[in-house]
Amino acid sequence: MANIQSEIVQMNINGVSAEGYLSKPGNLDSKAPGIVVIQEWWGLDDHIKSITERFAEQGFIALAPDLFHGSVTTEPDEAMKLTQAMDQARAREEIDACVAYIQNSEDSSGKVGVVGYCLGGGLSIQSACENSNISACNIYYGGNPDLNSVQNLKAPVLGIYAENDERITSTVPELEKALNDNGIVNEIIIYPNVDHAFFNDTNIPVYNKEAAESAWSKTLSFFSANLR
């Protein structure tokens, strides 16, 4: 692993208290862009932490908020309960706090993007629609935002989806139309013959190595183009 530093950090920004997992490059010799990494419905688990570390290895300051406030599960029924209990507005406030935390860091270049997976995918674009300090938005198989709010987007969008994930992917044309109608730069990629959460390498039944590696490359190119 490249020289990175990772730790749990506490944030209290604009009256919002939040906790998150921060990873950043060690021995930075210049200001670095940031990425807020938004969890799946399992919580802030080792997979999400590993993604923040991977971004740090690529020279980004990465911060993943703990939207379930300490709860992590591997059981779908429990994950559903945690998701339903989550206050969506509060979650977006905590994401905003992460954006501000990175921007206020002495190591930050000031540019921050968001990426979210599953539950986090929907939160990533809804947050980008509401927070003009977000400079790039990457969705991984997340639900659509309020399409009326797309007109407020200031960030380009990269949407990554799975062909076999019909419940989510069937809604993508509506999002793509809203993005195009509002002049938002976007790229939508639907990977063939893969399932929801294909990027999660801890979920072996659905993980697809080829698609995951391709998606990671697309994500890095997208953030490098829009945040550096």
What does the domain layout of the chain look like in residue ranges? 4-227
Q: Is 9 helix (H, G, I), strand (E, B) or coil?
A: strand
> What topology is assigned to 4-227 in CATH?
Rossmann fold (3.40.50)
Does the model's pTM come out above 0.85?
Answer: yes
* pLDDT at residue 29, as a whole number: 78
DSSP labels, 134-170: EEEEEEES-----GGGGGG--S-EEEEEETT-HHHHT
Which residues touch 170 (CB under 8 Å, ≥6 apart)?
none
Q: How does residue 195 score in pLDDT terms, banded at 50, 70 and 90?
A: very high
Question: pLDDT tens, 95-128?
Answer: 999 999 999 999 999 999 999 999 999 999 999 9
- Contact between residue 202 and residue 46 where contact means Cβ atoms under 8 Å apart: yes
Overall average pLDDT of the 52-77 stretch: 97
- Contact between residue 37 and residue 52 where contact means Cβ atoms under 8 Å apart: yes
Both tokens of residue 218?
A: 């697309």
* pLDDT at residue 118, as a whole number: 97
Rounded CA separation 121/131 (Å) = 15
Q: Where are the beta strands (DSSP E) in the chain?
A: 4-13, 16-25, 32-38, 61-65, 108-117, 134-140, 157-162, 186-191
Q: Report which residue type is found at 127.
A: S
* pLDDT at residue 218, as a whole number: 98
Both tokens of residue 103?
A: 């921007």
